[in-house]
Structure 1
Amino acid sequence: MGFKRSFDVVQAHCGEPMHVITGGVPTIPGDTVYEQMKWMRENDDQVRNLVLKEPRGYPPVNCNLIVPAKDPRAAAGYIIMEQNEYCVMSGGNTIAVATVLLETGMIPMKEPVTEFYLEAAAGLIKIKADCHNGKVTQVTFTNVPAFPVYLDAEIDVPTLGKIKVDIAWGGMFYCLIDSRQFPWLKLVPSQGKEIARISALCYQAAREQLPVHHPDYPGIGITGSEIHGPTENPNADWQSVDTVYTGEVDLNRPETWTGALDRCACGTGTCALMSVKYARGELKLNEPFRREGLIGIIFTGHALEEVDIHGYKGIKPTIGGEAWISAYCKYVLDETDPFPNGFTVGDIW
């Protein structure tokens, strides 16, 4: 028996599965993690496909490839891969990566607090990890600046009519949709299909009607959506559900109006939402913002300071949350495997 490829993978989750590839990928060209990410996207997308698609993955899974940091201040680098994109930044993935690096000993753990930097494609990310008895109990990271691009923009959405949305950057561009526009909708797991349908429709309509441009990341458009609204949880301040898309959404094809709902509280989505709330005067600097996800996971964010991002008024945010290791695996690709890039089937993709 022979294998074309094999990867060492630590499976972790913070509600959402966030796999971490710790070995098995050769040296990747590039002077920064951002350049390495672009090289992977253009030259070795097989890694992402093998880990995220069937038979090894399923729609909600994300993965991260650990690489040596290019910035001398960072302890490690990581390339973030999701179902429909390579992300320059992701909050849940960052929390999972930091947890895996510390709990496996790849980065020395110091109790009660370990502080270090990671290098994402978005740049240097400061990590503060609370640790107890060999376990990471909380990871708080300082994210890239977050800022709104559109506030209360009205879009025409098939089957829904005119809907108001906000578009904001938190490490990705998000279409933010207030759930109170849909009186029948509750942000609970049992309404997952309806959440995904509304999210997909608004997401694609926003992509077509609201152009965006990030000066630092040319070519990146709106790649995520988030329905948000009040919560009844006394331990949270707001509730949101993000959707990850596993293919193209076509407003003329109802079968594409779907996606995989984020099981965690989404760090970059929380930062985007905080920037909108700050712009509206609904969030103060250094005020905690406890955001509840679909299954009750809570991330806590703070807007540390106001910043200017190429003319946009934004915030410098932090996000804190916890992740848990669930498995240690070796993924292999057999020489005779008829699916060298994995596969998808329309029942769940």
Structure 2
Amino acid sequence: MNIKKNYLTKLAAITLLLLLSISACKSDEENPIEPITVGAIQGQVTSAVNGLSITKANIFTVPPTSRVTTDADGNYLISNVEPGEYTITASKEGMDTLNAEVTVAAGAETKADFILNQYDSLNSAFYGIITGTVKNAIDELALSNVSIRTIPPTSSVSTNSAGYFLIPNVEPGEYLVDAKKIGYDSTQITVTVFKGKTVFADLIIVPADTSALPTTAKISGYAVDASTGNKLSDVQVSVDPPVSSVLTDALGYYEIENVEPGQYTVNAVKANYTSFSVDISAQAGTVTKADLLLTKSTGAVTGKVLRASDGSPVSGAYIKTNPGSGTVLTDASGVYSFENIAPGTITITADKQGFTTASVSVQIKSSITIQADILLDSN
């Protein structure tokens, strides 16, 4: 009797568990869990001198997310960070400013710890940071979209909606920080950047004489390689009707000032690139942005020189093109390459002692790398 009772009790328990499992599965189907689309960055800041936690260290990222400070234990957390690559910076007055490159994934916490040295430490970081705010001299309100540049040049940045700007990775030395905004007189301040230090450069700019409203415009932008996204220096930029002609700087940036209001075509020219043009409208007192996307006008060819008998690589083979005057040698893997070749048909010839000379013809196209392998027979 007891055996039967125990059996029935166990059967009832198993049945209940099955019913609960089915109910849970049904609940999950009816209420699916939303996927997590953001991640987080967390870590700790400590002293290189004594290993103690550093409180109230400033933590911020580029591209910008949230600006936070470390707690009493030196810990920090930046939440709701979109997936991607970031440069995260830790700074504290009297101590180094350090950067770290991190990659944030959805639903994950990326860890980035920092160990900061004192300024006078032999291990102090080499670069510094220039940061500050720009305000209106009349009402002391923050000004956004103020162009900030340094002399000697570093990075060109603009103030955000809070009037804040930051120029990272500045080599130690003396700089002139220049603030410009249409409708305001430009202002400059001299700062000295030390390794591992954040220097503050707060600027006050005065509204220009309103009785003399601006009558001209400015055109500015960046020249960019359309294939790689890299900024292009020494690009000749001009406008039509003619105003002036300038070259892009080391960061690919250009400005054309004193442009009369009207319709213009901005032209960009650089060796080995197809010229680029874009139509813009310039209005008095404004800055018209015109970024220039240039496409390489040349192509490239690469390939391997291989033994015809077994497909093994042939190193040290002389490779030349016709037309063309350059000659290269294949590397240990039998690889060769030529860049900046004008579009059209070329003949590539491979020659090495002990082998029969062989050639192949290929069609070179703009912005494309052609693969052309060559087989050599032994003599």
| TM-score band, normalised by shorter chain | under 0.3
TM-score (norm. length: structure 1): 0.22
TM-score (norm. length: structure 2): 0.21
Higher RCO by CA contacts (8 Å cutoff, separation 6 or greater)? 1
Bigger Rg, structure 1 or 2:
2
Task: Identify, as 1 or 2, the structure richer in strand.
Answer: 2
